[in-house]
Amino acid sequence: MIWKRHPIIKNSKEIEILRRANGILMEILFTIKEEVKPGKCTYEFEEMALELCEKKKVIPAFKGYRGYPYALCVSVNEEIVHGMPRRDKVLKEGDIVSFDFGVIYEGYVGDAAITVGVGTISSIAERLLKTTEEALYLAIEKARIGNKIGDISYAIQSRAEREGFSVIRDFVGHGVGRSLHEPPEIPNYGKPGRGPKLEAGMVLAIEPMVAVGSHEVKILEDGWTAVTKDGSLSAHFEHSVAITPSGPLILSSL
C-alpha cells in the first residue's frame, strides 16, 4: 500500500485548524485528568475519551492506527507508552499514569500526552514528572527557525541525564499534520546542530519519554505496551508545536 505523503510545511490556515484540533484534545485530556484517583481502572478513561470525542465531534486518531484498538494510550508506572486501557488494571495511590491521546478535526491530527500522579507520589516519581515536563519545555524553546532537530534532541537528553535519568531511544517525536506521523523524526537524544533544519510552518510533536533507570525497552505480549526492561518508573509528556516567525507556538495548550 502506498501512503499519501503530506507536505511538512503548513500554512497559517492549517496551523489554525491544528490549534483547534489540539485545543479540543487538551480539553478532553484535562477532563480525564480530573478523574484520576485510586480505584479507577484504566478502561474507564478510554470510555471517557470515546464519549468526549463524540460530544465534541472529533475522531479518535489512534483507534485503528496500525491496528491499535483504542482511542487512548494509558501507561502506568514502568509502562512507557502505548499502554492499552484495561478493566483489570486498577490505579492505586502513588502510581504515575500517562495519557497519550490524538484526535482528528477537519482532517488534521492533534497529538499530546501528559503524566499525572495518583494521590501522593514518591519524591523520585515527583522528580521524574518535573524533569520530563521541564525537558519538554526546554525542547520547545529550541523549536525556532534556523535551529536543527538535534538542538531539540539535545535539550531533552541533557535535562534528563543531568538528573541521572535516561531518555528512551526506541520511540521518537515526529512531524504531525494530516497524518499522525510525518517527517521529520525527533529523537529524544542527540547533538546540537545536527539533523534537519527547522523551518517556518513545520508542526512538531515533541515527546520526551524519560526513565528513572536504564533506557532499555521491552514490549509486552499484547504487542503494544512498552515497558522499561528494568521495571523502573517512566514518564511521558508531549506537545504539538508550530514553528513560526515569532517563535514556537504550542498548539496543545488549553
Residues contributing to the site for Co ion (CB under 5 A): 111, 205
| Helix, strand counts (H, E) of the chain | 4, 15
Check residue 167 for interaction with ligand MF3 (CB under 6 A).
no
Provide, rounded to whole angstroms, the least separation between the CB of residue 66 and ligand MF3: 5
Cβ(155)–Cβ(135) below 8 Å: yes
In angstroms, the CA 187 to CA 171 distance is: 7
Provide, rounded to whole angstroms, the least separation between the CB of residue 64 and ligand MF3: 9
Provide, rounded to whole angstroms, the least separation between the CB of residue 252 and ligand MF3: 11
Cβ(172)–Cβ(186) below 8 Å: yes
Check residue 68 for interaction with ligand MF3 (CB under 6 A).
yes
Q: Which does 44 bind (CB under 5 to 8 A by kind): ligand MF3, Co ion, none?
A: none
In angstroms, the CA 6 to CA 142 distance is: 24
Nearer to ligand MF3, 202 or 205 (CB): 205
Q: Which does 73 bind (CB under 5 to 8 A by kind): ligand MF3, Co ion, none?
A: ligand MF3
**Side chain identity, residue 187:** P
Q: How far is CA 189 from the centre of its chain?
A: 16
CA-based nearest residue to 162, from 137, 127, 194: 127
Q: For 16-43, what is the HEC assignment?
A: HHHHHHHHHHHHHHHHHHHCCCCCCEHH
Interactions with ligand MF3, residue window 110-129 (CB under 6 A) = 111
- Only one residue has cell 495511590, namely 93
Provide, rounded to whole angstroms, the least separation between the CB of residue 88 and Co ion: 27
Provide, rounded to whole angstroms, the least separation between the CB of residue 164 and ligand MF3: 26
Among positions 18, 58, 73, 136, the unique one binding ligand MF3 when judged by CB under 6 A: 73
Give how many residues touch ligand MF3 by CB under 6 A: 11
Task: Write out the three cell numbers for 78.
Answer: 514502568
Nearer to ligand MF3, 102 or 190 (CB): 102
In angstroms, the CA 54 to CA 69 distance is: 17
Check residue 3 for interaction with ligand MF3 (CB under 6 A).
no
Q: What is the CA radius of gyration of the chain?
A: 17
Check residue 65 for interaction with ligand MF3 (CB under 6 A).
yes
Check residue 203 for interaction with ligand MF3 (CB under 6 A).
no
Query: Where does this chain bind ligand MF3 (CB under 6 A)?
Result: 62, 65-66, 68, 73, 82, 100, 102, 111, 205, 207
